[in-house]
Structure 1
């Protein structure tokens, strides 16, 4: 008799699947005694209110206000009816055009406040202190170091340089060239690596550990990043209320979140579960070649397990999602709050880059189109997994694309058109 595989059926064959997390606890929320507690989530919301004033100055096209950083817009497309589908448009975030503009920028500003406090300046009493000449003179003494496939480096680099920090980013082989160019143009020191995402992060960690004036933004283990992302849940709550949409047992909320290492979707899941409890189900979306969170959770292991362990390549057009090893912090803290993982093929991503441009005028990177691809392929099965008699409300989270240079954008569209043409021919 053939031994049963450790991995869900289809994973090793790079087939797109919906994996319903068997350890999912719909009622579980953040607890004060946990590694990330309710007080941490509240502090993130308060900090973002303060940070928004600073962001409106250093990124002049950001409006001051309630702290919301991207729109929540209803999407009226025949392909998605009868479901009520909303788009959380983080691809339009003015700081860096991706979801990483939440956690990465939050951590940079949190570190800026820490530096000021250590020099006797209270940022709460003087919210605009990080923009003073005295603060800039202090920040120039410090170097922020980060490892990334692209978007986190872009967010940390741009925010850090705006405040006057020296910034060094270590980027993996998957990172897009244009992101490296823009960072260098902003005065960021970019170090390129032939290895994957984990290699770049390890290299950045080692560099930062040798310098007392270096601060490492740890995408794999940072609680600050995690809670920075969590504040987005309060934006969602306010935006849903403004739209007159009540989330409850009769109208559950399904949220599709692109997942790389897991920090951004993990933090947002923490925030959403804390607000909506069992009435929200967060679905992580990963490429079939890089389902690092699915592999980690499905293994049931308390030690890291990467996608190479089940024979996958970690090669995908979605650079922001090309991660072989999931964050153990997220797996441990958020794992039981993740409803499941949906995987999609690269052709699905290309198709929905083109579809969302032609249907709704959304300019997305392949990573940013992941939620649409997952919903189109798995949405019905996902809703049935939760015994929902109602279609409920769906939020698809976008990330990346609005900053794409014209040449890269043209290529992304060409790939989408090719896929659509090939699939149309198969149908005929």
Structure 2
């Protein structure tokens, strides 16, 4: 990049650029999902807003809309010298009310879509009825006949479980071995039944799916295959567009937008990316960030002809501190949607996530979990690696980097117990001190 040097890191996180990015298939809708479905999801969330305001006092100020702020972020959180590459922001989904993570929009949307279906089938809603009446004793008695179930490593389970229980459904969450104990405790405090498994995310999902098939009154939220979840996640892009307009932030050829999102099975980041590509087209560049020992989406992107490939096939072991990203196999639905829409993938170490948890708190007063802190490795990889510099040069973006905008998407953490966060904060501080002293690498 003429006139600019790489940001101040001796070694950037690994970056993979998608060779199919921007290909012809980008305009082909896969999985019967179109932008009209996303618009319908946004409208459904708006219809339910009065009911959510009634169910959750914390949504009073937002009139029942669950949305996060877009916050300014000091470039120093990324690395010394990063300010040469534009302006940095945080899409603070770790602050999303009720569920505390990026999973809120998609998870809430699917539960509410199911609620709407049951309410109309059972005569609880007429065309002109207000949705607040679905909090009535009659409605709750009806909903109590149904189960809403999901398989999760944690955050999706909290989203589905908390909303389902609040509406009166019998909520069941099938949790994998990676799920944190505090998330299980929180779910149980809301009256959610938590099923624990010794295996990974795939086992929890498969078992939950099989059990739901046996019960005609059970609705299983399938994170690997659900268009409803995907569309709910994509609503974030429509709202982000309005936030950028309110802040007078332009997105065009001279003002490219880069978005960095942590990735597990792919649903939430895939939905966000899909929505952003519809809104901003070629001027937005999305990168997913995964743990180095659990990079299922990268494995799938690198093996386009091997459907169902897992991290175990690639020699990984699914060991990571980032419980929300500990997934062995990517969603095939989302992969098909991302194949030409996703600019690239970043792989981050557990040590880097914990250090960035500390940096985000100490430098920006943001309390996030390790999965969310992974997003900081996104811009660091793009701006600090040879692959990233080559991508910027080859696309002609290098000329516009001083006027670029970068959004780090923090996906969870506000509900984390203080003792859990403090332990990670101290660990991150110690690792950062070791890095500064040259005792560990910056990877």
Structure 1 length-normalised TM: 0.92
Match of 2:421 in 1: 409
Match of 1:72 in 2: 70
How far 1:117 sits from its partner (Å)?
Answer: 1.3
Q: Is residue 132 of structure 1 aligned with residue 129 of structure 2?
A: no
**What is the distance in 2 between the residues matched to 1:269 and 1:354?**
27
Q: Is residue 151 of structure 1 aligned with residue 155 of structure 2?
A: yes
Judged with a 3 Å threshold, the aligned counterparts in structure 2 of structure 1 residues 226 and 266 are, in CA distance, closer, same or farther, namely same
**What is the distance in 1 between the residues matched to 2:158 and 2:41?**
21
Match of 1:81 in 2: 83
Judged with a 3 Å threshold, the aligned counterparts in structure 2 of structure 1 residues 64 and 425 are, in CA distance, closer, same or farther, namely closer
2:48 partner SS: helix
Judged with a 3 Å threshold, the aligned counterparts in structure 2 of structure 1 residues 262 and 74 are, in CA distance, closer, same or farther, namely same
Residue ranges of structure 1 left out of the alignment (5+ in a row): 1-14
Q: Is residue 118 of structure 1 aligned with residue 130 of structure 2?
A: no
Match of 1:7 in 2: none
Instruction: Tell whether the 8 Å contact from 2:35 to 2:275 is kept in structure 1 after alignment.
Output: no
Higher mean alpha-carbon deviation, 118-127 vs 67-76, is at: 118-127
Superimposed CA distance per residue, residues 382-406 of structure 1 (whole angstroms, 9 cap, x where no aligned partner): 3651331222111110011111112
- After TM superposition, the structure 1 = structure 2 runs for residues 99-118 of structure 1, keeping only pairs within 5 Å, are 99-118=102-121
1:167 partner SS: strand
Match of 1:399 in 2: 411
How far 1:333 sits from its partner (Å)?
Answer: 2.3
Judged with a 3 Å threshold, the aligned counterparts in structure 2 of structure 1 residues 138 and 176 are, in CA distance, closer, same or farther, namely same
Q: Is residue 352 of structure 1 aligned with residue 364 of structure 2?
A: no
Within the candidate set 430, 434, 442, 1:418 is matched to 430
**What is the distance in 2 between the residues matched to 1:265 and 1:233?**
11
Match of 1:390 in 2: 400
Total equivalences in the alignment: 414
1:254 partner SS: strand
Higher mean alpha-carbon deviation, 33-42 vs 339-348, is at: 33-42
How far 1:128 sits from its partner (Å)?
Answer: 2.2
Q: Is residue 187 of structure 1 aligned with residue 184 of structure 2?
A: no
Q: Is residue 177 of structure 1 aligned with residue 181 of structure 2?
A: yes
**What is the distance in 2 between the residues matched to 1:92 and 1:304?**
33
How far 1:29 sits from its partner (Å)?
Answer: 5.6
Instruction: Tell whether the 8 Å contact from 1:139 to 1:165 is kept in structure 2 after alignment.
Output: yes
Instruction: Tell whether the 8 Å contact from 2:91 to 2:407 is kept in structure 1 after alignment.
Output: yes
How far 1:219 sits from its partner (Å)?
Answer: 0.5
Higher mean alpha-carbon deviation, 43-52 vs 325-334, is at: 43-52
Judged with a 3 Å threshold, the aligned counterparts in structure 2 of structure 1 residues 66 and 395 are, in CA distance, closer, same or farther, namely farther
- After TM superposition, the structure 1 = structure 2 runs for residues 273-284 of structure 1, keeping only pairs within 5 Å, are 273-284=277-288
Residue ranges of structure 2 left out of the alignment (5+ in a row): 1-11
**What is the distance in 1 between the residues matched to 2:167 and 2:101?**
20
Q: Is residue 37 of structure 1 aligned with residue 37 of structure 2?
A: no
Structure 2 length-normalised TM: 0.89
